[in-house]
């Protein structure tokens, strides 16, 4: 049976594609108040502002390209059974060719019905506007998980993390739960690897921290893994 690698990614994996992280200096949450744009209350209060915020993010994503870290993760599939669990709402893992991707916080290229989150649609282009409705006639909103909302994919993600032989964490401050707790589901003896230039403090058995930027450190790590597991 193939070795199972599970990769948990955050905004840092897409930083070198030109997409801003959230909590670094000059990160998105420096310029915006989370509660104005990324909560159900914000959507109630000022839906146009929320749509505008995500329209800008969508425009950025469509204009960005995967970087060497995204492409290297795709190469892991040559030898390993790989699942990418991402907190990112961009589609750069898809565009780099990864096959198994779980979007914990949704994906910005899709919309969902305001009254039934299971009604999900592709968005053509970068704009989603007020007045665009689902098949039930209700307003469409971005298909993303906001602060205060449940994370429907977390149980599936935890089950997969619990099966990992190697668990790689790339570019996340691990500040947001439940995603940050996934590492606790990884078997005690499995190897854990963190790639981040400013790694969060993590207490885990069999942990290796690589203090580097994803665009350079991930291709190196992937090379090593492909070589060592002949
Ligand atoms: N390579 C690797 N890591 C990087 C790079 C890089 N080039 N640049 C920055 N980082 C790291 C930072 O050191 C930091 O640890 O990426 C991490 C980014 O952390 P956050 O901005 O907190 O992003 P993330 O952890 O993905 O946020 C989690 O919070 O706002 C919500 O829903 C949003 O999914 C997001 C969640």
How far is Cα 181 from Cα 184, in angstroms, rounded to an integer?
6
Indicate which residue's Cα is closest to atom 25 of ligand 1. Answer: 172
pLDDT in tens, 188-215: 999 999 999 999 999 999 999 999 999 9
- β pairing state of 166-170 and 4-9: parallel
Catalytic residues: 105
Total domain count for the chain?
1
Cα–Cα distances in angstroms (integers) from residue 44 to residues 30, 53, 55, 116, 165, in the given order:
23, 15, 17, 16, 43
Range of the structural domain that residue 76 is part of: 4-228
CATH of the domain at 30: 3.40.50.1220
pLDDT in tens, 127-137: 999 999 999 99
Quick one: which atom of ligand 1 is closest to the CA of 104?
A: 34
Indicate which residue's Cα is closest to atom 34 of ligand 1. Answer: 87
Ligand 1 binding pocket, CB closer than 6 Å? 10-12, 15-16, 21-24, 27, 87, 105, 171-173, 175-176, 196-198, 200, 213-214
* Stronger pLDDT, 48 or 28, i.e. the higher one: 48
Structure tokens at 80: 């390993």
Indicate which residue's Cα is closest to atom 35 of ligand 1. Answer: 87
Mean pLDDT across the chain: 96
Residue to mutate, 7, 12, 85, ligand 1, most ligand atoms under 8 Å from C-beta: 12
pLDDT in tens, 27-43: 888 888 888 999 999 99
């Amino acid at each position: 049976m193939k070795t199972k690698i599970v990769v948990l990614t955050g905004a840092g994996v897409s930083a070198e594609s030109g997409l801003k992280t959230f909590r670094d200096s000059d990160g998105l949450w420096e310029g915006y108040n989370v509660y104005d744009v990324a909560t159900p209350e914000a959507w109630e209060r000022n839906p146009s502002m929320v749509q505008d915020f995500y329209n800008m993010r969508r425009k950025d994503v469509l204009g960005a390209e995967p970087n060497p870290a995204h492409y290297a993760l795709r190469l892991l599939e040559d030898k390993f059974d790989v699942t990418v669990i991402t907190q990112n709402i961009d589609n750069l893992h898809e565009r780099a060719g990864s096959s198994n991707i779980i979007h914990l916080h949704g994906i910005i290229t899709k919309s969902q019905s305001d009254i039934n989150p299971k009604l999900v649609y592709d968005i053509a282009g970068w704009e989603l506007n007020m007045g665009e409705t689902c098949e039930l006639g209700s307003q469409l909103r971005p298909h993303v998980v906001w602060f205060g909302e449940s994370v429907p994919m977390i149980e599936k993600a935890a089950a997969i993390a619990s099966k990992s032989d190697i668990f790689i964490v790339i570019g996340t401050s691990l500040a947001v739960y439940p995603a940050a707790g996934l590492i606790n589901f990884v078997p005690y003896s499995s190897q854990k690897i963190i790639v981040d230039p400013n790694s969060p403090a993590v207490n885990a058995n069999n942990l290796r921290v690589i203090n580097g930027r994803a665009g350079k450190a991930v291709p190196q790590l992937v090379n090593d893994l492909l070589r060592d597991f002949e």
